[in-house]
Chains A and B, each alone.
Chain A
Amino acid sequence: MQITSPEFKKNARSALSDTQLQKALGHVRTGFIDKRQASVDALPEFDELRDSARAIKDHTLAHLDLYLERYEEKVKSAGGYVHWAETAEDARSVILDICRAAGARTVTKGKSMITEEIGLNEFFEKEGVRPVETDLGEYIIQLRGEHPSHIIAPAVHLNKEQVEADFRRVHDHLRPNRDLSEPESLLAEARRVLRSEYFTADVGITGANFLVAETGSSVIVTNEGNGDLTQTLPRVHVVVASIEKVVPTLEDMSQILRVLARSATGQDMSVYTTVSTGPRRPGDPDGPDEYHVVLLDNGRSSMLGTEFQDMLRCIRCGACMNHCPIYHAVGGHAYGWVYPGPMGAVLTPSLAGIDKSGHLPNASTFCGRCEAVCPMKIPLPKMMRHWREREFARGLNPATQRYGLRAWALFASRPRLYHLAASFAIPALSFFTGRRPRFRYLPFAGGWTRHRDLPAPENRTFLQQWRSRQAAKQEAQA
């Protein structure tokens, strides 16, 4: 996928004035947050489970090489194949080889962010293999030639009228005057259309939420059942997963499962948790004849041992973006690559390079909600700050920002000068607000004030207020 993260500002600007998008984003602002809260409130042990889940991943990452070796050994002993891919390109070519060997023309796909990361669909199309996304949201955006705007709700940026228009355009073999006004009828149509695809496909590709070293199993967690049909009906099942998905045991998987669905959709458990181990066994009436796992690194090993290692605990639940005021305002596409929201702001520079990720680490108000809800307790704001520091050290941010920061540093390191300047600046700023406590317009801050007001500073500086409050307190005590 073409990365447009350096255009974050431009992307954000057009997202803010996109009325369809703004309407659709309303569903994120309310739905996800309330549902998560309700399910967390109903489980007193939730926070203890978060600590347990974090400890499991920390232990696994510290022994990652050994768990990967053990996992591979168990997959092989169950009759499966493991392919190691250092880069996206390696992964694509291994997958293509498997498809060619199977004589595949059509490939069904369960929802997988990893195959987005390696740009598998575009690659398949170039190579003459037809990929069919089967998750409803993924199917819709595939019809539109788009990419997911959310890691668990790929089509969250769309409204039902847009989906209806796409279905009418693409499913042109169906009655033109059929009723598609409600989500129910849209879902029923997608279900019918996709049913036949499961049976035509020669290869089914899924991601994995976990790889279990103890048993050599891959685990998918879904609600629709499409992932299961994708991996059960074709002759060949290919799992594409990144190396940090491994956990030691089934018991460890269980711990993380308890925080995954609650953080993602507010369910206690997703509808289908499927643990798969190897291909069809002798005498089995169904299931794939071949079972392959493609283990992808693609930059993750270089995060180990750095200040970004904690990011590898991420279980892709989406809670951080569901609670992010920036994501609420601009949606996922503005982030310009596969992973949006706070987790994307940290991951994209790690995987695609900081010079290609531009402003992403700045796409934050540092309100800290992402870290507060992250089931794996990943310090997302801290890591965004690390990227900002690196960006600054490498001179990647624009000149105005650098000069601005330097000017600020000049004042900040000279307290007297700072207070003097602040006490002049406040009355000067009130010139722009008039009597209202918010700016509708401020010179040099048009990027902010075009879409929202800027709160005006209080009449006095913080220190002035502090001093007079302390004085009042002391007087009261005396």
Chain B
Amino acid sequence: MSGREAILKKVRGALGAPLDDAARAKAVRQRLAKAPTGVVPARGRLPEEERIALFRQMAEKVSATVEHVKKTGDVPNAVAAYLRSKNLPASVRMGGDERLRAMPWGRVKALETKTGPADPDDEVGVSHALAGIAETGTVALYSGVENPTTVNFLPEHHIVVVDAKDIEGDLETTLSRLKKRFGKGKMPRTLNLITGPSRSGDIEQKLLLGAHGPRALHLIVVDDGRIGNKL
């Protein structure tokens, strides 16, 4: 008997479940089909303006930095300003994501933009998020032809662009956004939910930023008229 059959047989035996119990099979089918949403914290259900403010507050709480720009076209300048403020070389790594590609990078003089998966020497990676999650200050990124995963982990600084309209209140709404995009039960190869820069508390429980992943996470929120000058 193969390991598979042996394990399944033991599980069924222990549960006292016959092989073809229609009621059990139906319970499982229904649960998978309906995928019921459980308890969502009230803080994950705020109206738009408060939601965007909470996103910022939660992200800052976990040591990410957050800035707002008015429109997509402002992103390259914001990136360049970030590099200058940290004394970093004027070079960024990014995937071929069309939302990033559509930005006017050429307008920023002497900024090198490298596309493709990250090298160990890259200091700054730029990604575009599928969504932000306000309840925890998280950004959701997924891998694909135009979105290498290494950009999220190898560079010391990770800059993530997120549109204000994509900031959701809770994780469940973000997951259903993903399901809409890929189809139910289908997933991108990698979904990264990132909450703050990498850290470790493994030596004497002292919390240190920049373990193996990025030391700094900078979030650029593109308002597009949503928040205007209110923030």
Contact = CB atoms under 8 A, between A and B. Distances in A.
Contacts of B187: 78, 215-217, 275, 277
Contacts of B144: 281, 284
B14 A305 contact: yes
A58 B202 CA distance: 33
Contacts of B83: none
B189 A187 contact: no
Interface in A167-189: 183-184, 186-187
Nearest to A137: B202
A66 B28 contact: yes
Interface string B63-78: 0000000000000000
Contact of B205 (A153, A269, A303): A153
A363 interface: no
Nearest to A67: B28
Nearest to B179: A250
Contact of A154 (B185, B197, B202): B202
B106 interface: no
Interface in A279-327: 279-281, 283-287, 295, 297, 301-306
B199 A271 contact: yes
Interface of B is mostly: loop
A127 interface: no
B3 A90 contact: yes
B31 A248 contact: yes
A285 B145 contact: yes
B198 A295 contact: no
B154 interface: yes
Contact of A52 (B38, B43, B205, B210): B38
A65 B10 CA distance: 9
Nearest to A79: B189
Majority SS of interface residues in chain A? mixed
A285 B199 contact: no
B16 to A, nearest CB: 7
A225 B202 CA distance: 13
B90 interface: no
A79 B195 CA distance: 29
Interface string B1-22: 0111011101110111100000
A59 B36 CA distance: 13
The range of chain A's interface size is: 35 or more
B135 to A, nearest CB: 8
B153 A225 contact: yes
Given A65-B11, A229-B212, A258-B41, A135 B202 contact: yes
A208 interface: no
Interface residues of B, number: 79
B208 A287 contact: no
A356 interface: no
B204 A159 contact: yes
B14 A302 contact: yes
B104 interface: no
A86 B6 contact: yes
B95 A285 contact: yes
A232 interface: yes
Nearest to A72: B4
B35 interface: yes
Interface in A236-286: 243, 248-252, 254-255, 257-258, 265, 267-281, 283-286
Given A163-B203, A257-B171, A304-B11, 4 more contacts: A63-B27, A155-B202, A191-B211, A268-B58
Interface of A: 24, 27-28, 31-32, 43-45, 48-49, 52, 56, 59, 62-70, 72, 74, 78, 83-86, 90, 134-137, 140, 153-156, 158-160, 163, 183-184, 186-187, 191, 194-195, 199, 213-217, 223-226, 228-229, 232-233, 243, 248-252, 254-255, 257-258, 265, 267-281, 283-287, 295, 297, 301-306
23 contacts: A32-B205, A43-B43, A45-B39, A45-B41, A63-B28, A84-B4, A191-B212, A195-B120, A226-B212, A248-B28, A248-B32, A250-B179, A251-B38, A254-B38, A268-B62, A268-B195, A271-B213, A272-B194, A272-B195, A274-B191, A285-B116, A287-B149, A295-B7
